[in-house]
Structure 1
């Protein structure tokens, strides 16, 4: 009970600090790759459609109508990102996180199309609209702390995102798994646009393991990968993640509880405003 009150006070103080930082002009957030807050990565431009107006890659395909719907989804995510990023940057700054790969915060159109086409192939009859509703990482961020401050950093950052009106829709804590990927992958719904976005909480070691296994995972997910190769790829990934140290208390971290209206003045302060476009 004392722990709950302490966490509540920490989030309240952090929310106040965030609002003050916004009012005074938020300083630069430490990022692994420098990028302006409103700059969009060049890779978000949709690839040119095929001769039939559809999309085709590695045995996957979308019809012209399906391709058009995914392109519309990409455009909406790009617009929503401008209002989401300032809050994530503020949460990173206040929780002393490194914001990793900020210039890749928008998933590329081809990556989204591969995901949608794969789901539709694996689930015959599933529509493109149903597939798009499942996507929570068109806008995505990675926050990273050293193992010693990881658990407190996650609690502070997640608490701030929740206090600023983002609804937690998914919280996958895999630190307690004996094999495979290790980190926390969370999904949130932005209060104004309703856009789903992903925030991954990593340590430097878990992020390095994720980068090292990325190509293995991509090959594993291809429709034509033989079952024996799928098992081999999984074993390689398991071996890499097995070497990642588990931060103290990380396996017990849970999503912040949905908060009821509070008389706490910090809750009535404005959330971080989008950076001006210029």
Structure 2
């Protein structure tokens, strides 16, 4: 699959004198064809919105982390993972990962590469999607996973408002997805959203493998701008891109497939929408 990310051809994140933001991301090559460079662009107002949200997250993270540690220590067999990465971009300006996610959410992709894109949205319209500026992972052994997560939900509810519970084990068991785990979004009293992911050691390891191996590649392939190609080449490029995306899905299924669903995990109910 194509390599993507901040390589030698990456233009690097840049804040302009008018406070607009730009980042050209080199997507590398696929089958000898350059995938181009998606152009992340934020207006001065949108960039100021992103900076404000990340600066607020940096200020609030220590208090949230202290409560997460408190909860984890109360529950036998709970083990935190990913310490040191509580803040997206590790809290380092100009926050390129956060701003790329904001740009992606504001500019949703079509269901299939090459199809018309939905209309652009404002930062406020996608604010609920920007839920992982602060994020945590708590692992439980498979044998105590369901009880551990249920206890954690009770403890977290004493300190934070629960926004959403996404139980991916249910989808995995129903054959509607491969990703394992439970992701919960919380909100603090001062309005800060943060995410807690609950995994087994096996599901966490599988997630880590897929994220490092192919998530960025898939994301890059889905973001390809077909207008950069001559009209006569677009159909063939679209076919190759779709084939690459399907290959990613097959490979990730091979990684996630052996991860066993813990007993009782599917009975932890998602938040009703």
How does the TM-score come out when normalised to structure 2?
0.71
| CA shift for structure 1 position 133 | 3.8
3-state secondary structure, aligned to 1:61: strand
Please tell me whether the aligned partners of residues 56 and 62 of structure 1 are also in contact (alpha carbons under 8 angstroms). no
3-state secondary structure, aligned to 1:198: strand
3-state secondary structure, aligned to 1:227: helix
CA displacement 1:15-67 (0-9 Å, x = unmatched): xxxxxxxxxxxxxxxxxxxxxxxxxxxxxxxx652466412132122223322
| CA shift for structure 1 position 129 | 2.7
Counterpart residue number, 2:97: 111
| Alignment pair present for 1:174 and 2:168 | yes
Counterpart residue number, 2:141: 146
Counterpart residue number, 2:48: 68
Please tell me whether the aligned partners of residues 167 and 270 of structure 2 are also in contact (alpha carbons under 8 angstroms). no
Counterpart residue number, 1:212: 209
Which structure has more relative contact order (CA 8 Å, sep 6+)? It is: 1
CA displacement 1:204-240 (0-9 Å, x = unmatched): 0000000000031222122019222111111211111
Counterpart residue number, 2:24: 57
How far apart in 1 are the matches of 2:255 and 2:17?
42
CA gap 1:219/1:50 in 2 versus in 1, 3 angstroms: farther
* Structure 2 segments unaligned to the other structure (5+ residues): 1-12, 26-37, 90-94, 109-117, 226-240
3-state secondary structure, aligned to 1:187: strand
| CA shift for structure 1 position 135 | 1.1
* Structure 1 segments unaligned to the other structure (5+ residues): 1-46, 258-278
3-state secondary structure, aligned to 1:180: coil
How far apart in 2 are the matches of 1:88 and 1:112?
22
Counterpart residue number, 1:128: 123
How far apart in 1 are the matches of 2:18 and 2:224?
24
Please tell me whether the aligned partners of residues 140 and 200 of structure 2 are also in contact (alpha carbons under 8 angstroms). yes
Query: Comparing 150-159 with 171-180, which one deviates more in the overlay?
Result: 171-180
Query: Comparing 199-208 with 109-118, which one deviates more in the overlay?
Result: 109-118
Counterpart residue number, 1:80: 60
Q: Runs of 4+ in structure 1 displaced over 6 angstroms? A: none
| CA shift for structure 1 position 256 | 8.7
How far apart in 2 are the matches of 1:57 and 1:207?
31
How far apart in 2 are the matches of 1:154 and 1:148?
12
